[in-house]
Amino acid sequence: MNPYTQLGIPPSASPDDVDRAYKRRARDAHPDRNGGDNEQFLAVQKAYDLLKDAELRRNFDATGEWGERKPDKRLERPMQKVQQVFVAVLKRLTELHEEPKHHNLVEMMQQVLDNSIAQHEQQRSLITDILESFRDCRDRFTTKAVGEDGENDNIMAGLIAHQIATTERELQGCEVEIEACRQAKRIVQDYKFKHRAKRAATMSATGAATTSAATGWATFG
């Protein structure tokens, strides 16, 4: 299927021409409209999705192939964090019988992410200290045992080397989580949440709910 043919426009059509053609064809093909057709409507939508994307359109013009924009893998983990913290905050507010509309969810999500970053940084510090201890111990174990090849068979050094490799992977994972949380916080910072603050008589409970909801992130770290 040719997307230009699907929308009834020439390959030289401007972005505005694409928009106008899509609106016209989508309206005519809409399944709720008399004479509309669901398959045709989906085909029109698919054609528009390609032509409105400059990169995909250039690729089609050059190769004739339908492509799909590949998601940015670098944002995959940060977006998972954003989703997790949003769900954690909403669940916690529900447990406290608090309505989200009375809280600034953006600030709450940022607080949760700050807590998570602090926890992971503390964990990173502990893992780093443990790793240094493993390395120090490895160099201090000596043995008189001799292996079949006539060399000293230092089993302890081998076991510790394996543990060092495992701990190094843990440290790397911790670094990844810290960076993911930082990126997630940058994503959240781009948003505002329209909320209606409670009356003064209930503000203390609101503050407690915010703090309590923020502590719920530990489950998802």
Q: Which residue has the tokens 């694409």?
A: 18
More confident residue, 9 or 207: 9
User: Has this prediction a pTM greater than 0.85?
Assistant: no
Instruction: List, for residues 87-140, the tens digit of each pLDDT value.
Output: 999 999 999 999 999 999 999 999 999 999 999 999 999 999 999 999 999 888
Least confident of 32-41, 129-138, 172-181: 32-41
- DSSP string across 85-151: HHHHHHHHHHHTT--GGGS-HHHHHHHHHHHHHHHHHHHHHHHHHHHHHHHHHHTT-----B-TTSS
Q: 201 to each of 47, 99, 198, 204, how far by Cα in Å?
A: 56, 16, 8, 7
Task: Return the CATH class of domain 8-63.
Answer: mainly alpha
29 sits in which H/E element: helix 15-29
Contact predicate 111/214, CB 8 Å: yes
DSSP tag of 152: B
pLDDT, position 138: 85
Span 159-171, mean pLDDT?
A: 94
pLDDT at 187 over 50: yes
How many other C-beta atoms lie within 10 A of the C-beta of residue 28? 14
Domain residue extents for the chain: 8-63, 74-220
